[in-house]
Amino acid sequence: MKNTFLLSQFFLKDLVYRKIFFVALGLGMSFVVLSLLLGPLSYNEEARLAINFSLAGSQIALIFLSVLVGADFIKLDIENQSIHSFLARPISRFQFFISKFCAFAACLLFLSFFMWLGFYLVSSVTGLESSFKSVLPFVGVYIESLILFSFATTVSLFASSLMTVGASFTLFLVGHFVEMLRQLEKSDDLVAKVFGSIITKIIPNLESLNWKAHLTYNEWVSSISYFKFSLYGLSWVFFLLAVGYLIFSKKDFT
């Protein structure tokens, strides 16, 4: 446990020193500034436009960070052979793998917190009442980002970085249309029905973690529903991590 904690700290510092960390933070905060500038341009919709723009910017920044970092976070250590310097110590493959994930999860949490602060600023300036509910959209984006990071990390163990990025963004796009694809299961065409049944089972429903509209349109959703959606998203994270570790544990680094 101590080795895992120390290793996570080391990888976290490595992440913070990367330019992409500051690019993601700058991108997210720039959307916050733009939302304040664009809000007054909308007649009677200043608060809603500003909030939507701010939340969308935070989501874009965190998703891009998750995919781009996941595509080479472990792969880079394997390619430059630096992984041997870690595994030569009393560190198991599992400790190395889980430390990478913990470091990124902590980094993502840090960024999400700062973007929520920016969002809180927008809420205060536009006169929108801020409450605990304002945190929920960021929780959804956080879990969604962890899913994409886990997927990208897993795919990167057997595919090129370019293919990993492409597959991850494809998952992001398809994942937000799973509910629409579910309608294929009701089709009279057998091929469409089978395709819809398969795709909705192997692709995570990322739209279930999109809680922005719940806040901007003041939609009521029970706490139990949020809990179920969160548990659903985290189950995909653990599943993808388990698959990734299984591949990683059998991989030859020579």
pLDDT in tens, 186-216: 777 777 778 777 887 889 999 999 887 777 6
The residue whose two tokens read 């057998």 is: 190
Kindly tell me if the per-residue pLDDT of 126 is higher than 70.
Answer: no
- Quote the tokens at residue 29: 């905060």
Kindly tell me if the per-residue pLDDT of 246 is higher than 90.
Answer: yes
* Cα 209 from Cα 232, distance rounded (Å): 9
- Quote the tokens at residue 174: 């398809």
Name the band, by pLDDT with cuts 50, 70 and 90, for residue 131.
low
Kindly tell me if the per-residue pLDDT of 158 is higher than 60.
Answer: yes
- Which amino acid, 155? V
Kindly tell me if the per-residue pLDDT of 120 is higher than 70.
Answer: yes
Q: Vertex 198, ends 101 and 223: CA angle to 5°?
A: 55
pLDDT of residue 151: 97
pLDDT of residue 29: 75
Name the residue with higher pLDDT: 237 or 76.
237
81: region left, alpha or beta (phi > 0 left; psi from -120 to 50 alpha): left
Window from 34-43, 79-88, 173-182, 193-202 with minimum mean pLDDT? 34-43
Nearest-10 crossing angle of helices 136-156, 223-250: 20
Summarize the confidence of residues 46-73 as an average pLDDT. Answer: 83
Kindly tell me if the per-residue pLDDT of 57 is higher than 90.
Answer: no
Per-residue pLDDT tens digits for 16-32: 887 777 788 787 777 77
* Cα 135 from Cα 59, distance rounded (Å): 13
pTM equals 0.89
* Cα 254 from Cα 251, distance rounded (Å): 9
CA distances from 54 to 39, 121, 166 (A): 10, 10, 26
pLDDT of residue 153: 96
Q: What percent of the chain lies above the pLDDT cut of 70?
A: 87
Q: Vertex 201, ends 199 and 204: CA angle to 5°?
A: 90
Extents of the domains making up the chain: 2-250
* Cα 9 from Cα 177, distance rounded (Å): 37
Per-residue pLDDT tens digits for 31-46: 777 766 665 555 455 5
Three-state secondary structure readout of 12-81: HHHHHCCHHHHHHHHHHHHHHHHHHHHHHHCCCCHHHHHHHHHHHHHHHHHHHHHHHHHCCCCHHHHHCC
Summarize the confidence of residues 240-250 as an average pLDDT. Answer: 95
Mean pLDDT, the chain, integer: 83
- Pick from 135, 114, 103: which is nearest to 22 by CA? 114
